[in-house]
Structure 1
Amino acid sequence: MKLVTRSQLGWPASAAPTQTSTRGVKVHYEGTEVSTRLLADHDECIAEWKAIRRSHLANKQENYSDVAYNYAACPHGYLLEGRGIGRRTGANGNQDLNRAHYAILGLVGSSGLVVPTDAMLAAIRDGIELLRAHGAGQEIKGHRDGYATSCPGPSLYAWVQKGAPRPAGTGGSTSTPSKPSTGSKAPAFPGRQYFKAGANNRYVTQLGKQLVKKGFGRHYASGPGPRWTEADRRNVRDFQLSKKDLRGDADGYPGPLTWKLLFS
């Protein structure tokens, strides 16, 4: 688990009301546009989380005592502490529903960055398991379960409905940091012909998802897909420029070495 604590964020102890148990955890999303810049730069995730807290503290109508959520999860797999353990959520405004479930926010929205990465899902799962170890019940729900809202959006809610499974290869410990796999083998490079203007195939989707996973998805407007676009090319070029062995041929089109390094 990669945890960023309140002290690391420069925040004092939460002033939210204490609570020792809940029926479980509810998953949330931002419900507004979230910039795809978060995919490329973890500092943008921290800035986003701090901005959410500032906006909540400035909300005089709800009169928040702190950021509304117990935790947030970012595209890079970090669990960001909010109210934390043993604090009542404020995710339902000032309603009694706050007593029923803790709240974890995925840093995705209704436009821009809308599809959670596997690393984000793993971080949400880390938060669920951490809260379960400190009094949360077994329920895993979306915000819309019991409250009239579209939150947590279609992608996160579909995952919640499946039981919020931990993505394969993302670890499962709530007490030690998850370690990257060292023995995985890169899938075979399918060929350059699959990555050119007009291409529409599963390898483009596979490429795009891996770029996002590696933190090189900032040019996507709504996540990777099967159709080769300029956003794919620009994201590949960003990855190539980040690798010394690829900089001399950073044209944005994957070859065997780009593919191997991307999936290593």
Structure 2
Amino acid sequence: MLFARRADWKATKPDNLHEPVTSTKGVKVHYTGTRFEPFLEVHALCAMRVKEIQREHMEGKGDSEIDYNLLVCRHGVVFEGRGWREQNAANGNRELNRAHHAVCAPTGSGGYTDVPEKMVRGIQDAIAYLRRHGAGWEIAGHRDGYATQCPGDLLYGHVLNGSLDPGVLWDGGNHIVRGGETLGRISVRYNVPSDYIILANPDDLDASGKVKDGMKLWIPARGVPLKGADPTPGDDATEFQPFPGAKWFHEEPSSPIITAMGERLVAEGCSEYAKGPGPQWSEADRASYAKWQRKLGYAGAKADGWPGETSWEQLRVPYVGQKPGDFEEFPGDAWFHDQPKSRIITAMGKRLVEEGCGHYSKGPGPQWTEADRHSYAVWQRKLGFNGSKADGWPGEYSWDRLQVPEDDD
């Protein structure tokens, strides 16, 4: 399973200790019930959303900690809340809280209300994890035994049809590929998702999952965090939103960047919003940003609410896949692997040279070459990537940070 521990999402320390639990009847499934904005589909924002839920519970409700034992994002990552050892505060009362562990899937009543396949798998992983730590076999909804609409009709449908049950749990071990087996067949045999097997065998398997007879594979245990697996995204959707420029904010833009900025301001305790952040820049955004600037120690004209590059970088707004400006959109991974000949490649090369990342003997040209790839790898390393994430093949995040001009005239 992909598991984000409390340190990974920078959880706030609880106000006090909670009652321990050693066993329960099983798990109750929850949702947040609020509107789930489409921009939150970007995985880089999931940890921020969990952090915000903790803040809502501790500051808004006065609870000593986030209410749930575990949470599961749309991408199937299981986030550690209170963990398996402690009584939750989500099921309705002390008796209900002690009877079942609580797992929350932060889907909502508006915006994105669906329950994607990866989220279902992540909930299975969370239940498997809790079963390994004393939870019984029951899988119920929050509404079972308590008057509430939670976890919503769609998610509750999965509770009723049994699709959240992880099934028989494999405890981990080796497998020798024989008889023309495929990774899919191996996955079904052990009830372990194929991509988990790929992650557990980085020296033998790539993303294609192609196996050969005689290959020795480690099949990881279901419901156990994968060792060495990074629950955060890579080059395509990670890190933080580049500073859009001071002028951009004065144009009062409407953009997911503004919503993401507002969510970060709320998480930092700098909210001046009456209804919560939205995509349209407003005076509430400016007042909230001024509060952030004052938190950083600025005063007077330097805390006027208009973002500057230094305060923006310190806010660490998660990357949402959009940027202002007249720059080339990311052409897609496959486009570069086709070794294109295009003015976009020339423009990209010129930007790499400007960033001090050029490894060209004669200068950039329109034909994609190994020199372009080597130069791009230097750029990726400059952004902090390494290993397979700095292989020279452009990803969306690093491309947007490069800001390749649309017109190279």
Note whether the superposition's TM-score is higher than 0.5.
Answer: yes
Aligned with 1:245 (options 330, 335, 352): 335
Per the alignment, in what secondary structure is the counterpart of residue 8 of structure 1?
A: coil
Q: 1:101/1:178 Cα in 2 relative to 1: closer, same or farther (>3 Å)?
A: farther
TM-superposed deviation, 1:182: 3.0
SS in 1 for 2:60: coil
Q: Residue 131 and residue 13 in structure 1: after superposition, are their counterparts in 2 closer, same or farther (change >3 A)?
A: farther
CA distance in 2, matches of 1:137, 1:31: 26
Kindly indicate whether the alpha-carbon contact (under 8 Å) linking 2:25 and 2:137 is maintained by their aligned counterparts in 1. yes
Please list, as runs of the form range in 1=range in 2, the aligned pairs for 1:67-86 lying within 5 A after superposition. 67-86=66-85
1:210-251 Cα offsets, whole Å, 9 max, x none, are xxxx99xx9xxxxxxxxxxxxxxxxxxxx9744351899xxx
Any gaps of 5 or more consecutive residues in structure 2? Answer: 168-183, 200-206, 211-235, 238-255, 257-328, 341-409
Aligned to 1:148: 147
Aligned residue in 2 for 1:182: 208
CA RMSD of aligned residues (A): 3.6
Counterpart code for 1:182: S
What percent identity do the matched residue pairs reach? 37
Cα deviation, 1:63-100, whole Å, max 9, x if unaligned, reads: 42210001111111100110011111110354421111
Q: Tell me the matched-pair count.
A: 197
1:57 paired with 2:78, answer: no
Alignment equivalent of 2:29, drawn from 27, 30, 36: 27
Is residue 141 of structure 2 the alignment partner of residue 113 of structure 1? Answer: no
User: Is the CA contact 1:2–1:178 (under 8 Å) kept in the aligned structure 2?
Assistant: no
CA contact (8 A) 2:141 2:159 kept: yes
Change (3 A) 1:44 1:129: same
Structure 2 residue aligned with 1:11: 11
Structure with max Cα Rg: 2
Match of 2:352 in 1: none
TM-score, length of structure 2 as denominator length: 0.43
Letter in 2 for 1:58: E
Alpha-carbon distance change, 31 to 2 in structure 1, aligned in 2, over 3 angstroms: same
The CA deviation at 1:45 is: 1.1
Secondary structure of 1:7 counterpart? coil
Q: State the secondary structure of the residue aligned to 1:245.
A: helix
C-alpha distance in 2, partners of 1:149/1:118? 25
Note the C-alpha offset of 1:46.
1.0
CA deviation string 1:174-222 (max 9, x = no partner): 9x945477359xxxxxxxxxxxxxxxxxxxxxxxxxxxxx99xx9xxxx
- The letter for the 1-side match of 2:30 is H
* Counterpart amino acid of residue 83 in structure 2: G
Q: Letter of the aligned partner of 2:26 in structure 1?
A: G
Higher relative CO (Cα under 8 Å, sequence separation at least 6) belongs to 1
- Secondary structure of 1:103 counterpart: strand
**What amino acid is the match of 1:34?**
F
CA change 1:242–1:165 in 2 (3 A) is farther
- Cα 1:33/1:12, change in 2 over 3 Å: closer
- Runs (5+) with no aligned partner, structure 1: 185-213, 219-238, 249-264
